[in-house]
Amino acid sequence: MFDKNFFKENLKTLFYALIIAIIIRSLFIQPFYIPSSSMEPNLLVGDRLFVTKYSYGYSRHSFPFSPPIFKGRVLFNEPKRGDVVVFKTPADNRTDYIKRLIGLPGDQIQFIDENLYINNSEIIKSRLSNNDKIFCGSNNINVLTFEEVLPNNKRYKTVYLKSNTFKNSDKFEVPEDHYFFLGDNRDCSKDSRFLTSVGYVHKNNLVGKAQFIFFSSDKSVGRIFSFWKWNKSIRFDRFFKKIN
């Protein structure tokens, strides 16, 4: 005999669980997957990470499907230079990107002879390696690895192609309430240098701050269901790694 009460109670449980999941995802923390190599060597394709939604306050993009429930940003906290940030691309206000925040409102950003300048001051970078290999899409490329130090003393690794690297640019002037982002994989990143596709990112498009990796796997070795390859495909050394 069909038990209507049993069916009803299970539906209610599922509904409440869904509401709780949406609240947690919207207000506190959300998992994200890294699909591209634009943030290598710091983030790899296959990394799964947690992003805190409360770090910069809330906008409509904090919620699933970006509903127009309110305008602007509430409880806003200014992001810091060097933060790794998830944001909605200005081109469609829908696609999630993850990049490093380099330029704050009012900053001037420019590349001169392969070197990054912020407000006419060269960002110091120290070479760590002359012969590293990383991915750019499906290609394995030779790069030089550096440590860059931003004006607020934020340090992180970044890589440049050995040849045909991004050498010079126009001067980018970051508008009010906007930010300028770069990928750490400098010659394999679509970021704020490309004004028609990404460009300057308004503060309302910020989704949250990337905090740590909770799982990572290399699909080129084997899919997650291929348990006999887990010793090679799962990157255990990246579990719970803090994102710098």
Tell me the pLDDT band of 6, cut-offs 50, 70 and 90: low
What backbone torsions phi and psi does residue 140 show, to the nearest 5 degrees? -95, 115
Distance between CA atoms of 86 and 184, rounded to whole angstroms?
A: 14
Distance between CA atoms of 14 and 20, rounded to whole angstroms?
A: 10
Total residues belonging to the chain: 244
State pLDDT tens for residues 13-62: 887 788 887 788 778 999 999 999 999 999 999 999 999 999 999 999 99
- The active-site residue out of 99, 125, 203, 209 is 99
What backbone torsions phi and psi does residue 11 show, to the nearest 5 degrees? -65, -40
**Cis previous bond, 175, omega within 30:** no
Determine the Cα angle at 62 with ends 86 and 59, to 5°: 105
pLDDT at 148: 97
Choices 3.40.920.10, 3.40.50.300, 2.10.109.10, 3.30.70.20: CATH for 4-242: 2.10.109.10
Taking the domains of the chain in order of start, what are their residue ranges? 4-242
- Determine if residue 106 is left, alpha or beta; phi over 0 gives left, psi from -120 to 50 gives alpha, anything else beta: left
- The active-site residue out of 38, 62, 217, 233 is 38
pLDDT at 11: 78
State pLDDT tens for residues 92-147: 999 999 999 999 999 999 999 989 999 999 999 999 999 899 989 888 889 999 99
Integer Rg of the chain from CA: 20
Tell me the pLDDT band of 163, cut-offs 50, 70 and 90: confident
Candidates 56, 55, 57, 39; CA nearest to 47 is 39
Distance between CA atoms of 72 and 82, rounded to whole angstroms?
A: 24
Q: Report the Cα 241 to chain-centroid distance in Å.
A: 15
Residues 6+ positions from 164 with CB-CB distance below 8 Å: 187
Q: Is the pTM of this model over 0.85?
A: yes
pLDDT at 24: 80
Tell me the pLDDT of the chain averaged across its residues.
91
User: Contact at 8 Å (CB) between 207 and 51?
Assistant: yes
38 assigned to active site: yes
Distance between CA atoms of 147 and 145, rounded to whole angstroms?
A: 7
